[in-house]
Amino acid sequence: MSLADRTFAAVIFDNDGTLVDSTGSVERSWVRWAVEHGVNPYTLVGHHGMPAAAIIASVAPHLDAAAALRRIEQLEVDDVEGVIALPGVHDALEALAHAPVAVATSATRDLATVRLAAARIAIDEVVTFDDVERGKPHPDPFLLAAQRLGVDPADCLVCEDAPSGITAARAAGCAVLAVTTTSEAGALSDADLVVSSLVDVTFAVVDGRVRVSPR
């Protein structure tokens, strides 16, 4: 069944790469962090959408994990230059104004807060890495977001941009709409629908249910 043939109780958005364009900040911060710690920056490729702690464990297991995490978080929190809402985001959120909506991100609470604020996005329910024992690709962030919204995860539509996020959403039992802002379409093939950006879909709330359809 296509997404156009379904309705949903709620929508859960990933943040970076889905709602917010933070690419410049991410790249600047992680490259600086890597140089400071003697890590080859090229080893960072392919880790988008994963919690920072998991990235550090992957590329620099020899480092003091807690200290390394504090440093990268501080670098990212301090750099919001160029952080803006991605195309179609504000229109989508306006259309969903009367529907349950949440964010489920691999970022920490502080980082998610500053990036959403920089992009002028206001969503009350935000699940961060600080709220779960296991981040993406585990389903925990989406399960908690659905719980907080008071809906069944199987009745949620997740909007994602990263393979790890799609894996997490699938494990939670959610339907998935993917955008190709940070990954090629082939890497997102497990999603129900893949589009270039949220400009390419229309959200509507009909009789309290969310509908999404390609433009």
Which residues belong to the active site?
Answer: 14, 16
- Output the CA torsion 85→202→49→181 (10° steps): -70
Distance, CA of 161 to CA of 181 (rounded, Å)? 6
Distance, CA of 163 to CA of 167 (rounded, Å)? 6
Count Cβ atoms within 10 A of the Cβ of residue 84 and give its class: 0-12 exposed, 13-18 middle, 19 or more buried: middle
Question: Furthest-apart CA pair in the chain: how many Å?
Answer: 56
- Buried/exposed code over 131-164 (b: 16+ C-beta within 10 A; e: otherwise): bbeebbbbbbbbbbbbebbebebebbbbbbbbbb
Are the beta carbons of 93 and 30 closer than 8 angstroms? no
Relative to beta strand 101-104, strand 125-127 is: parallel
